[in-house]
Structure 1
């Protein structure tokens, strides 16, 4: 009896095996059949042939997806296909590596069939979550398939967002770190020329998974919103950033060399679509919200080293010199190599040997710092605009200038003549190793090396610039470096549209400052000509190591290295800290914020006789305030309302000073704002087909969403139709303007405006800090 039962079981097994072989041999291609077979196998996992049957079905299904059969997704079979895909979450629970591999590949293949199919895959949270978890699989083949499929899903913006929403980026970071730990090194990464684009490649097959993970990781990082990035565990960000930054110098060195490797047959086993710019953007993004405690510096330290103490304190400086007259502090930053000197770490790091020798090493560590728009408050919008340029070598005129003065003509001559004034050159001129070496030769020939954006390149300078910005209530402060050889002058006599603090680090330099009889503060980006005819007086000052000199905006000046009293010629190295007063942060800007803040609480009224809304009177008043600035210097001065106070007393000197200026401002608006002048200005703009209010776009970030529909529109709508009504009812319109002006001047409160203004300041400062953090990470 037992023998008959054993024989019967063996016969059943043979029949099942024969049936399975028959199915495998026939390779059924109908999705309905595949679904039925796979479902049957999943519902009977104890059956020894179930696993083999699932493998067979998945392999056939995979081939169908890869073939993109036109009959596969016919309307009559769409439900069946969806049912097949619905089995994937169950399949991903299998312990069989081959089933997991095939399931992951099916997800990737299906997501590439069409945008609609990609959306179906990405919409299934269970599939996406399961796929993400397999990235950290111990089975290398499964991890590679999962990573490839994530890249396939991420070919659409919807797919990328779903992956981010379901924490796929977290698993990619874990997988990336896991492979790095097991491999021990990723030095095989290099930059290759892939059809004219600088892409990242590896030379060894063993590194293919690392490159896939890197590719997927960077793709999702560069698609993150600020909110999504904030949800990533901090430890994951920090650890991943460390390794990405270890890859960056090697990639940057290849770019700087200007001889990107060409892909040869069989040399590179794996090539990614990931570019060097993509890697730079990921490093930038992960760094931009970092807290740099290592670059912190106390405000009191900056004040003591730049402004001095006693009668030369910051308070006295603001009261007697700020934006009114040059100011000199002797020897406050002397002994820069000793502890306490605010520039000591920079000087010691870069100038340990002979000064000319540090030019090449410093320039080779730099990347281009693309200027950020003065009214930009969205760092992701900025990144979108400059994508493809981030991380590139420095660019002439933007990041660096190499120039000297023609002795007779007193005009500037550039060493790289092709970059001077040829406006027909539209492609930026990047500096490669050969150009950097030429800078050393240029220095020896008497040319000054001028570098912009040092606050984005060195943490020590970034810390100082950040504190100076806080002292003056501005979102940021720039820092430029000037290295001038002996007996030379780099820049011709010129005026700056920003205030500068000149910090002499090494050597000696003679400055000539021309004092104008009539002085008016220029506005940022205003074209300035040196008024040679009015230079009746001048002041010559020699700066030695440790000296600091302040020059207000608008004062013509020039500088050169000279022969010392002992007959020796000295070079000069100095940093200028530039305080740029951007339009929102002068007193005119504060007045516009005050009017906006007050008007958002204004009950909108409509004159039925004229059809003119009270909000248009507010707009006219904005234009009138803008016109006053030309006659009243106070409107051009920097507003320090957002400045960090130097005392613990809430009613300190700075608070009193700012309140007094605000009261003076309100009085000027009441006395001088003219309806007639505003109307004429608006009419001229309309005749030129211009928006008369476009210059106020920066205010839109402060407008409540509910009020923006009724109060503020950019570009202005209806103003051209309103002007005829105003001409027809001129007296009524002017009376409405006067009423709004009087009401505003009576009711505007400094404390209310202060809070609104600081909100604007914080928006700008946050964006500038994000930019600074991101750029610093590409230099360190």
Structure 2
């Protein structure tokens, strides 16, 4: 029927348009509400409460057992969702367990229900209480519900940030031991897994899933004691599962876990990130051990030798026993026999996947490498077994490798035996990433990075048999401190013949054929001696045995040394400091200008001109030695922290400031605009980001801009568009654009503030160090360190 205006009347829907929901509200809701309602008075009989609970359990069971295809409770009635927190917390084990099953069933039936329930704080709290109910049946049902809700990314994210995670960890921490449960290697595997074992598998899977779904920063709120116990148990489970993974006789056991070994490894890594490493080595002790007892020794080293010439710190043998750092290092290895030495640093290794040079988000790193965490060591990436023979006419020699490139060593025992055999045949073992495998080495590397104001220091261990040479003659793209731990080794070092220092991530140049094989500096390092080799200096080393000495099974005739590599990342060279100074100055200019300024056009072009100047600074560094050197304005030399700085510290600060002024003058006086525009034009035509990847780290610099100013700032991960704008500006009016850019460059070089750049430099260094430290702690956790 139509109304007078000719429009059809809409049929008004009654309340509870969903018949299933209306039926639930009429028939089921009252009974469930009665089951969870508190006693109204002291005279209420327990039997009535028990009857209500029994009735509620029957109703929940009936809904759960309804046959498909019609979902029993889809969509979930709002009244049921409101009651779930109480039902999950019911004192009736049947009601609580069945309510957990309802939650899990609903989550699996629809994504909407999953997100609704996982986002409900009351439901999450109810599940947490169910996990701690004390009833195995309820806890298992709650654990299964957590797994079901975690089927979606939203569900995992919501639950990992709730009370569910700490409750799961507490339940898992109550497991006294997993021996006899995981890793049974009986001749015939059990066909049926016992109930206690099923519970362990379930709770382990839930813990791993929740930990890997949680943002790293949220894990800091967990109780340290709880984290420590969970880490120990997870490591024990992971170790057993890794053994089973390589065995073919018990696939039954391997299939009990839903979690893969790399997922358990990721959970261990995450829990390890914020663990405090045990003390024992103070940074000041490391400084004294590496550079000498006087505070001025390190400063003298920096002023006289750093990045310029080799330096040898000859240690007195009588004083080595009183050196806590040297003693701690030697105690990290079993030095009784060559075989024992090999076993002490090869056993129990896992691979250390590389972290991107500009990666400052550990969550992002974990997302990229999660399926490779805890993998077996890989040849060349982690370890090399090499010898150099058949020297050429230039004397450099040819490297021979014992294993094939990319080989993965799944059988650890077999790998150790092969390494022992290789050493007997004149091969040396070079193991990378010792700072990720030993807490003592990690402490030394961290202290050294702090002293030199750099993000991190790498550490490798080298073990060589008598009368052998491991690596062929070469140079490094990082500075190296060589620390002789056992035996002695003869080194030959040539000065750097190139004016430009090699930098990280750039191709290596072939060695100069004119290198005088009879020249070079020769030094023999004895136990405790430390030698510094600057980046770019060609060197080689080999072991020798004096006449009359025996080579057979005598550790003293072998050489064991540690190298500490001070790797200068691009942001922390003087070129990087110049980029940071430009960024800081531009930020101040943008904040200080008014929207009604006469030079509003120039202010709009400022980000483009700054981008142009960034490229110019980069091109300058290709030929300027100063820009490639390490910037040490953040170095923590001892006298810098004293109230009365020494003349050495003043000298260093004055040197830093004069270097900065020198760089600004070079930037201002160098006219390479045409070269810069040509470089930009090639980048735009190529439509590839590879040539401009070097500037991606600039995105990490702190910004103060807001509103329109922020909108005009450059995205350093996407510069091809701004490059095109720059080319258009210079093509439309070349003379005016050149004059404006020259004026912009002059203002920067005249007004850039050293202290402002230092502040941002330190902030960036802190971000880099934080991420590198998190990575180091995570890898130490996977090597079984700091679990106690």
Q: Does 1:582 align with 2:569?
A: yes
Q: Does 1:372 align with 2:355?
A: yes
How much is the aligned-residue C-alpha RMSD, in angstroms?
2.8
Q: Counterparts of 1:333 and 1:376 in 2: how far apart (Å)?
A: 43
Q: Does 1:571 align with 2:569?
A: no
Q: Does 1:209 align with 2:211?
A: no
Could you give the per-residue CA deviations for residues 585-615 of structure 1, whole angstroms, max 9, x where no partner exists?
A: 1000000000001111223789788997122
Structure 2 residue aligned with 1:645 = 637
Structure 2 residue aligned with 1:174 = 170
Structure 2 residue aligned with 1:740 = 744
Does 525-534 or 163-172 show the bigger shift? 525-534
Structure 2 residue aligned with 1:555 = 537
Q: Counterparts of 2:344 and 2:244 in 1: how far apart (Å)?
A: 15
Q: Is the 8 A contact 1:188 1:203 kept in 2?
A: no
Structure 1 residue aligned with 2:87 = 91
1:54 paired residue among 42, 53, 56: 56
Structure 2 residue aligned with 1:19 = none
Q: Counterparts of 1:339 and 1:718 in 2: how far apart (Å)?
A: 60
Structure 1 residue aligned with 2:761 = 757
Q: Does 1:38 align with 2:32?
A: yes
Q: Is the 8 A contact 1:173 1:217 kept in 2?
A: yes
Alignment of 1:454-603 (within 5 A): 454-536=434-516, 537-569=519-551, 570-603=557-590
Q: Is the 8 A contact 2:580 2:757 kept in 1?
A: yes
Q: Is the 8 A contact 2:350 2:377 kept in 1?
A: yes
Q: Across the two proteins, how many residue pairs are aligned to each other?
A: 722
Taking a change above 3 Å as real, the CA distance of residues 390 and 312 of structure 1, as seen in their structure-2 partners, is same
Q: Counterparts of 2:456 and 2:496 in 1: how far apart (Å)?
A: 28
Structure 2 residue aligned with 1:11 = none
Taking a change above 3 Å as real, the CA distance of residues 390 and 558 of structure 1, as seen in their structure-2 partners, is same
Structure 2 residue aligned with 1:146 = 142
Structure 2 residue aligned with 1:240 = 230
Q: Does 1:292 align with 2:264?
A: no
Structure 1 residue aligned with 2:611 = 619
Could you give the per-residue CA deviations for residues 400-422 of structure 1, whole angstroms, max 9, x where no partner exists?
A: 00111123451111111x32xxx
Q: Is the 8 A contact 1:305 1:332 kept in 2?
A: no
Q: Counterparts of 1:730 and 1:192 in 2: how far apart (Å)?
A: 78
Structure 1 residue aligned with 2:109 = 113
Could you give the per-residue CA deviations for residues 277-297 of structure 1, whole angstroms, max 9, x where no partner exists?
A: 122111111111122242542
State the 1:249 CA deviation. Answer: 3.6
Taking a change above 3 Å as real, the CA distance of residues 102 and 332 of structure 1, as seen in their structure-2 partners, is farther
Alignment of 1:334-349 (within 5 A): 336=320, 338-349=321-332
Taking a change above 3 Å as real, the CA distance of residues 583 and 191 of structure 1, as seen in their structure-2 partners, is farther
Could you give the per-residue CA deviations for residues 490-541 of structure 1, whole angstroms, max 9, x where no partner exists?
A: 1111111111011011011111112344443111122223433332331111
Q: Counterparts of 2:384 and 2:454 in 1: how far apart (Å)?
A: 27
Alignment of 1:410-489 (within 5 A): 410-416=397-403, 418-419=404-405, 432-489=412-469
State the 1:379 CA deviation. Answer: 0.8
Q: Is the 8 A contact 1:305 1:333 kept in 2?
A: no
State the 1:302 CA deviation. Answer: 2.0
Does 668-677 or 321-330 show the bigger shift? 668-677
Q: Counterparts of 2:222 and 2:293 in 1: how far apart (Å)?
A: 46
Normalised by the size of structure 1, how large is the TM-score? 0.87
Structure 2 residue aligned with 1:126 = 122
Taking a change above 3 Å as real, the CA distance of residues 176 and 600 of structure 1, as seen in their structure-2 partners, is same
Structure 2 residue aligned with 1:398 = 381
State the 1:436 CA deviation. Answer: 2.5
Structure 2 residue aligned with 1:272 = 257
State the 1:685 CA deviation. Answer: 1.6
State the 1:72 CA deviation. Answer: 4.1
Structure 1 gaps of 5+ residues are 1-27, 194-200, 420-424
Q: Is the 8 A contact 1:304 1:332 kept in 2?
A: no
Q: Counterparts of 1:392 and 1:495 in 2: how far apart (Å)?
A: 30
Q: Counterparts of 1:391 and 1:620 in 2: how far apart (Å)?
A: 44
Q: Is the 8 A contact 1:306 1:333 kept in 2?
A: no
1:715 paired residue among 708, 714, 718: 718
State the 1:568 CA deviation. Answer: 4.3
Does 671-680 or 504-513 show the bigger shift? 671-680
Taking a change above 3 Å as real, the CA distance of residues 552 and 332 of structure 1, as seen in their structure-2 partners, is farther
Q: Is the 8 A contact 2:496 2:536 kept in 1?
A: no
Structure 1 residue aligned with 2:777 = 773
Structure 1 residue aligned with 2:694 = 695
Task: Name the SS for the 2:638 alignment partner.
Answer: coil
Q: Is the 8 A contact 1:333 1:547 kept in 2?
A: no
Structure 1 residue aligned with 2:302 = 318
Q: Counterparts of 1:93 and 1:690 in 2: how far apart (Å)?
A: 58
Alignment of 1:651-662 (within 5 A): 652-653=649-650, 654-662=652-660
Q: Counterparts of 2:644 and 2:611 in 1: how far apart (Å)?
A: 34
Structure 1 residue aligned with 2:18 = none
Normalised by the size of structure 2, how large is the TM-score? 0.86
Q: Is the 8 A contact 1:177 1:240 kept in 2?
A: yes
State the 1:464 CA deviation. Answer: 0.8
1:636 paired residue among 608, 628, 651: 628
State the 1:370 CA deviation. Answer: 1.0
Could you give the per-residue CA deviations for residues 460-479 of structure 1, whole angstroms, max 9, x where no partner exists?
A: 11111111111111010000
Taking a change above 3 Å as real, the CA distance of residues 160 and 623 of structure 1, as seen in their structure-2 partners, is same
Q: Counterparts of 1:360 and 1:170 in 2: how far apart (Å)?
A: 38
Could you give the per-residue CA deviations for residues 125-168 of structure 1, whole angstroms, max 9, x where no partner exists?
A: 21210111111221111111111111111111211222133221
Q: Counterparts of 1:361 and 1:87 in 2: how far apart (Å)?
A: 59
Q: Does 1:104 align with 2:100?
A: yes
Taking a change above 3 Å as real, the CA distance of residues 668 and 430 of structure 1, as seen in their structure-2 partners, is farther
Task: Name the SS for the 1:292 alignment partner.
Answer: coil
Does 724-733 or 216-225 show the bigger shift? 724-733
State the 1:307 CA deviation. Answer: 1.8
Q: Counterparts of 2:339 and 2:571 in 1: how far apart (Å)?
A: 41
Q: Is the 8 A contact 1:587 1:635 kept in 2?
A: yes
Task: Name the SS for the 1:401 alignment partner.
Answer: strand
Taking a change above 3 Å as real, the CA distance of residues 517 and 451 of structure 1, as seen in their structure-2 partners, is closer
Taking a change above 3 Å as real, the CA distance of residues 698 and 631 of structure 1, as seen in their structure-2 partners, is same
Task: Name the SS for the 1:237 alignment partner.
Answer: helix
State the 1:206 CA deviation. Answer: 1.5
